[in-house]
Amino acid sequence: MTGPHPGIHDLSLATTHYRLDHDTLARHLGVDPAKFHDGLGQDSMSVPAIDEDIVTMAATAAAPILARHGTDRIRTILFATETGADQSKAAGLYLHGLLDLPTTCRVVELKQACYSATAALQFATALISREPRQQVLVLASDIAAYELGSAAEPTQGAAAVAMLISADPAILRLEPHSGLYSGDVSDFWRPNYRTEAVVDGATSISAYQDAVQAAWSDYQRHNNRELSEFAAFCYHQPFTKMAHKAHRHLLDSTDADAGLEAAINASTPCNRAIGNSYTASSYIALACLLDHRDDLAGQPVAIVSYGSGSVAEFLSGIVQPGYRRHLRTTANVQAITRRTPITYERYRTLHQARFPTDGADHDLPQESAAPYRLAGISGHKRIYQSRKADDTG
């Protein structure tokens, strides 16, 4: 008797109201735009409006999934982020109230740099293997922010992904064995007393490449598949060219066919436009791949997840027959193309904005056109609203 084969049943993404074009940033910094377009592989970055955060983006990504499938079978909500809204309360509980989710479910936040969405996905499959009728809502939402003028500034971004995990997935069936790697390295971290991360760029690149190679080696110890058997690869993309660097490093380390370099191309256009989305990045790459590639039904794809500090995982899945009927290609394109371009001055103001910490009542202006917004702070509590609630007074 065979058990369930859990995987991704639905997949939706969201990003911010604003974008900063890298041509605009290059003009302000007095550098050649090719440094960003070609050197980093970035064309623009998503910038949150003053009333947007990880919760509003995650709710916007999750709402279409709940509208399509309902909430009766959701027993667990796993929220992966490294941009937590509270040191104690899980961000998923804010979303739980916004989306009117069942009280009969567990809600947990997971953190390990950019990796934790993959941990959430694996935990979800374990829960479903034990109780196949349940579904798990996995959310990954982050805002990548670095100091103005730093080398990492052009790699900023923000986005969220929502995934419904079930025993009978319509999009991607996850394979049972993955490759793992963990090691203590200080390549990127953010102490509690800082709003921006500390980055050692050179160490981060080498740590990423070494971790991916080690995770692949572990994958091979449990699986007979070779790199050449994968139809495509979806890498974590702190900047788009990093995916190409990591893939090239993996191919070189395994003496794989150089022709496999093209196997990541369809997974990168969204990241070029959005920028780094931390925990959401590998799964935005997956959505991008499924939206842009010719039919992948029945073929294996690899998801390569990395989180600084560092943890890496090489996992694989089989694209399911009929998966195209379940994609959200038009909505995903619109989420990116409808962002409003802003000036460098407006971006700088948003970047430097800080929420008050005095516990008094502070209303936030309505800027975002998204269905959910952060309306204000009152008594140290975050106040969220849905657009429907706003419209009805």
Count the residues in the chain: 393
Domain 7-345 in CATH 3.20.20.70: no
pTM of the model: 0.96
* In the predicted structure, residue 25 carries a pLDDT above the cut 90: yes
Per-residue pLDDT of 91-121, as tens digits, reads 999 999 999 999 999 999 999 999 999 999 9
Contact yes or no for 181/214 (Cβ under 8 A): yes
Instruction: Kindly state the average pLDDT of the residues 35-42.
Output: 97
Instruction: Kindly state the average pLDDT of the residues 331-340.
Output: 98
* In the predicted structure, residue 393 carries a pLDDT above the cut 50: no
Q: Are strands 157-166 and 311-319 parallel, antiparallel or unpaired?
A: unpaired
* DSSP bridge partners of 232: 301
User: So where are the chain's domains?
Assistant: 7-345
CA distance 273 to 113: 21
CA distance 193 to 15: 26
Per-residue pLDDT of 194-250, as tens digits, reads 888 888 888 989 999 999 999 999 999 999 899 999 999 999 999 999 999 999 999
pLDDT value for 392: 34
Per-residue pLDDT of 257-308, as tens digits, reads 878 889 999 999 999 999 999 999 999 999 999 999 999 999 999 999 999 9
* In the predicted structure, residue 60 carries a pLDDT above the cut 70: yes
Nearest CA to 5 out of 172, 194, 150 is that of 172
pLDDT value for 189: 87
Nearest CA to 239 out of 285, 195, 187 is that of 285
Per-residue pLDDT of 161-190, as tens digits, reads 999 999 999 999 999 999 999 999 999 888
> What does R_g of the chain's alpha carbons equal in angstroms?
20
- Three-state secondary structure call for residue 106: strand
Which residues are part of the catalytic machinery? 82, 114, 236
pLDDT value for 2: 61
Contact yes or no for 85/382 (Cβ under 8 A): yes
Nearest CA to 11 out of 245, 388, 335, 392 is that of 335
Phi, psi of 245 (to 5 degrees): -60, -45
